[in-house]
Structure 1
Amino acid sequence: MAPDTERRLGSSLMKYGTVTSLLVVLVAYWYRSPQDSGGLDARLDAVLSSLLRAESKVGVNSASRPKVAIGFGGCVDIIVDGVELLNKIGLQPTATPLHHDYIQNAEQLAESFAYFFAPGAASERFVMNETLFSQLVEASRELPGNRWSVGGNAPVMAGRMALEGCDVLLGGTFSTDFNDVLSEHITVAGNDVDEPDIHLIMEYPSGATWGPYTSRRANRYIVHSDEHNPYLDSMEAFERQLLDFQPDLLVVGGLQMMDNFPFKEGERQSLLSHLSSLMSSASAETSVHFEMASFVDEELLAELLEGVVPLADSLGMNEQELPNLLSLLRGSNVTVLSDPNPRVATVLDQMRALYSLLNEQHTESGRGRALTRLHVHTLAFQAMIVRDGTRWKNTMSATAKASLTAHRHVCGSAEVDTSKARLIMDDSFSVSRREGSERIPLEETRPVSCWRERDYQICVAPVLVCTEVFQTAGGGDNISAAGLVLQI
């Protein structure tokens, strides 16, 4: 086959990955041998075909592409094996895993990495020591298998939404050569820089070892030493184009780059005040989503709870960020490390509490927007709360799509291969930790469970967890973006 033909065929397969996956699964399911029925492979195939059907019930109108504005930031991601990198620079495993808000030296890096590596919890830390960060970057260049890509919350979400059928206005700061690799459906509002910020993504698989430590699940530890992203450099250019763009959805993310950054007095507050004004200017017809991230600076989180969170009617976060935000709302300290594999009932109770607390605050203050959508993504499952009677639509299909996107991204494939998947969600789950709560079984032919409570609908979908990890970094951004696409 000629190279050009191969490229065209590969492009077509990626474009129609969902349809192909559905057909393959249906054929396999029909022709499987009787002795396989009821087996693990048959169960995974049944769950997959059902998720694909749920995802395909609705689609994005290609004739009228939804318009999404996404800010902020941009960087070059260098993706490496985290343990190999630490071995490369000769950093020995520490005897004392320890949390640090930021990294000042190699000893703190070892302690912080061990702290999150063993439970397999995602983390991101600012490296104040530029010499150490440069050493890590240079060592990563020499590691076999290192990969480079466009990174940052906003660009990753923009890439997913453009792929799924949206036109995107992206507030980001890039070098000119990286602008060339973005989708034609992405318009960049921001400054060009000669030297973009670099994020070092230290990935590790489940069962990886570093000295006496063994990771309980695949995840990543991210370090950066940004110069541009903490200042939301693209915000003014983004704001100028936002009014004419008239988006259906405004997405704000990447604010964790401000976490423990050494701003001058009042500088961060001024930036967040400007951001609040920008978010407040969004029309009533524009939905607003805020994507959470790993924060440890309590002052910054308090400022976000005051000036950013109340201006969004949708929030996205993972199993670490949910209890962190909830703890602060309840008057406690930041929760640095939470259960990386929480039960469904625990997460649903936390989601209900967050939904109630934020809406109570909205009612009392009379400012901003009511929270009408909440999406929490975990390794084992996706969960959404969506208020009745709002613009958010297709919640069941969106939850299924988020679940499938988790596998696709982590495995690095448009198709879902059940030979590289496993279910770790329980065969049934309680809807709450309250005594006597209803249990819902995981049905292979209807894996997305949806029900109504109070003034909202809840949907929960299992994830076909990828067992041959290509990349975990960017997973949350891809999952959140995919879920939003079907709801705007």
Structure 2
Amino acid sequence: MIRNSLVAGVILVALAYFYDRKTTDTSLDVDGTGISVEEATLNAWESTITKPSVPITKIAIGLNVNADLIVSGTALLKALKINPKNKHDHSTLHDLTHLGETFGYFFSKGAGGERYFSNGEVYKQIIDVADKIPDKQYSLGGNAGLMAQKIANTLPNVQIRFIGPVGPIAGKLFSKTINIPSGVMVEKDEVHLIMEYAKGEKWGEDVAPVATRFITSNDIANANLARLDMFVKSVIEFKPQMIVLSGLHLLDGHPQETRTRLLKMMRNEIIKMPRKVPIHLELASMANADCLAEIAQQIFPFIHSIGLNEQELVFFSQANHGPHQDLKPVNGYPEIAAVGDIVSWLLGKYSGGSSKLARVHFHSLTYHLIATKMDTWQNSASAVAAGARVAGEQACMTKPIQPSKVDLLIPKAFSLSVDNIQLRQQVVIYDPARPVTLWNRDGVDFAFSPVLVCRKPGNTVGLGDAISATGLLYSMYSIETK
């Protein structure tokens, strides 16, 4: 029996290697059609993606919003006279040395990161220098603000009410179709610094493996959940079909006592919201394991859905003693089977009983995965494909996606689990004519789709928010469940 299992395992590995080598060339002729796997995937998405039978027409979104100041990360560090020396991931930034070391850490890995800058005076000096860089750009920022903007631009007929500390710069950048109550406006924007870099760009001895960005801020209003007191009142008045929340990652820099107080405030406000209206929480990069664990304990049982990327998922597993805590991207993607295991564990740990949590939308550079408890959310195949498609559209800044400008970077053969024996023995051979892979594990439905990765992205900011927003628009919650 052991020998047979070993032989089967060797065959599966060899089969995966063969198919991966066979389809590495993206100009591969698919079924004799003369088209690439990218074009075939795009064509199949068109027939796969269907809108839910009950479309969403009203959404309430909050709380974090700011003005993003976007600059070249390496250009800013040079202007600040910071040299590429040591690389170290500081959980909180206190000075210019911390900024240079933490940027270098994420740059070398090609991973997007976000860290709080604790020294307001030094941060203001950095912003003053960044504001003088010739190619700088201001853009709407904040996960909640970006999700509202994406929905408004995608479906202008959807009614959106946004609640958060909206300053004068952000106010001008918001779509005119978004309803912003006058009482939420503030005199001064919180400014977040977006330090972008391109694939192949050099910083010291390192070469960036992918194009992405590092974010830092000294955000006071959003970190204190400003306008939370107005959110529930506005939601009840507005009567939305869905509620989207974000900004809890900004509690990362608070002392535990302050953080606990703010999370209890958030939980108490969530409890007041209409029970049959699904609530989605979008997470973002964090460095404080205790904060993330406390968010899960205090907030997860009272929301219906979460969105997160590979850094947040792995850190979540580390903070809560989950599986595959040492998972790292290989060749640009986190192992699909291991991600499936962590998502399955997450839902198993935090759903069930009185908990409302029943959906996880995982997004990474190369693929997305939506997992839902059976009979709670519908249309996940369309939702994961639509989210994957919008990632390429927004990164390349072209609609529709041009096949010649994107690459399929997932392994062409992969298993569905590391820990589950039955799923581990299944090798999925990627078929571009069927770009969404579906499976069930312990009462959880999984939907997987690759992303067509833009070769020369024109935009790296807000991709996760656009992905999650799009996935929600194509999902449908079964209100009879809880």
* Paired amino acid for 1:116: F
Q: Give how far 1:41 is off.
A: 5.3
- Of the three residues 381, 386, 390, the one matched with 1:396 is 381
Q: Give how far 1:302 is off.
A: 2.9
1:45 equivalenced with 2:30 (yes/no): no
* Paired amino acid for 2:358: T
| Residue number in structure 2 paired with 1:313 | 304
- Of the three residues 454, 461, 477, the one matched with 1:466 is 454
Alpha-carbon distance in structure 1 between the residues aligned to 2:118 and 2:275? 41
Q: Deviations over 1:370-396 (max 9, x none)?
A: x21111001111111122211x22111
- Of the three residues 241, 246, 253, the one matched with 2:239 is 246
Q: Give how far 1:34 is off.
A: 12
1:422 equivalenced with 2:407 (yes/no): yes
| Residue number in structure 1 paired with 2:398 | 413
Q: Secondary structure at the match of 2:400?
A: coil
1:268 equivalenced with 2:259 (yes/no): yes
Q: Give how far 1:287 is off.
A: 0.7
Alpha-carbon distance in structure 1 between the residues aligned to 2:395 and 2:28? 32
* Paired amino acid for 2:414: F
- Of the three residues 313, 316, 328, the one matched with 2:319 is 328
Contact residue 298 and residue 334 of structure 1 kept, 8 A: no
Residues 108, 441 of structure 1: alpha-carbon distance in 2 compared, 3 angstrom cutoff: same
| Residue number in structure 1 paired with 2:64 | 73
Q: Give how far 1:458 is off.
A: 0.9
Residues 82, 445 of structure 1: alpha-carbon distance in 2 compared, 3 angstrom cutoff: same
* Equivalences, count: 443
Residues 279, 91 of structure 1: alpha-carbon distance in 2 compared, 3 angstrom cutoff: same
Alpha-carbon distance in structure 1 between the residues aligned to 2:234 and 2:324? 38
* TM-score w.r.t. length of structure 2: 0.86
Alpha-carbon distance in structure 1 between the residues aligned to 2:154 and 2:363? 19
Q: Secondary structure at the match of 2:93?
A: coil
Cα RMSD, aligned residues only:
2.6
Structure 1 unpaired stretches of 5+: 1-32
Q: Give how far 1:399 is off.
A: 0.7
* Paired amino acid for 2:368: Q
Q: Give how far 1:73 is off.
A: 1.6
Q: Deviations over 1:441-477 (max 9, x none)?
A: 1111111111233322211101000111112121111
Residues 338, 129 of structure 1: alpha-carbon distance in 2 compared, 3 angstrom cutoff: farther
Alpha-carbon distance in structure 2 between the residues aligned to 1:322 and 1:233? 27
Alpha-carbon distance in structure 2 between the residues aligned to 1:171 and 1:65? 19
- Of the three residues 164, 174, 182, the one matched with 1:172 is 164
Structure 2 unpaired stretches of 5+: 1-26, 477-482
Residues 232, 334 of structure 1: alpha-carbon distance in 2 compared, 3 angstrom cutoff: farther
Q: Secondary structure at the match of 1:345?
A: helix
Q: Deviations over 1:59-108 (max 9, x none)?
A: 687xx7522111112110011111111112211001x2112111111111
Q: Give how far 1:197 is off.
A: 0.4
Alpha-carbon distance in structure 1 between the residues aligned to 2:291 and 2:312? 14
* Paired amino acid for 2:51: V
Alignment of 1:178-217 (within 5 A): 178-189=170-181, 191-217=184-210
Alpha-carbon distance in structure 1 between the residues aligned to 2:286 and 2:375? 32
| Residue number in structure 1 paired with 2:136 | 146
Residues 337, 444 of structure 1: alpha-carbon distance in 2 compared, 3 angstrom cutoff: closer
Alpha-carbon distance in structure 2 between the residues aligned to 1:254 and 1:34? 43
* Paired amino acid for 2:170: F
Alpha-carbon distance in structure 2 between the residues aligned to 1:226 and 1:234? 14
Contact residue 314 and residue 327 of structure 2 kept, 8 A: no
* TM-score w.r.t. length of structure 1: 0.85
| Residue number in structure 2 paired with 1:16 | none
- Of the three residues 283, 292, 296, the one matched with 2:283 is 292
Q: Secondary structure at the match of 1:320?
A: helix
Fraction of identical pairs, as percent: 28
| Residue number in structure 2 paired with 1:225 | 218
| Residue number in structure 1 paired with 2:479 | none
Q: Give how far 1:230 is off.
A: 0.8
Q: Secondary structure at the match of 1:244?
A: helix
Q: Give how far 1:48 is off.
A: 0.8
Residues 101, 45 of structure 1: alpha-carbon distance in 2 compared, 3 angstrom cutoff: same
* Paired amino acid for 1:398: A
Alpha-carbon distance in structure 1 between the residues aligned to 2:148 and 2:99? 31
Q: Deviations over 1:345-385 (max 9, x none)?
A: 111111111111213xx53xx4x42x211110011111111
Contact residue 115 and residue 287 of structure 2 kept, 8 A: no
Contact residue 154 and residue 171 of structure 1 kept, 8 A: no
1:431 equivalenced with 2:424 (yes/no): no
* Paired amino acid for 1:409: Q
1:345 equivalenced with 2:333 (yes/no): no
Contact residue 164 and residue 485 of structure 1 kept, 8 A: no
Contact residue 119 and residue 215 of structure 1 kept, 8 A: yes
Q: Secondary structure at the match of 1:47?
A: helix
Contact residue 167 and residue 190 of structure 2 kept, 8 A: no
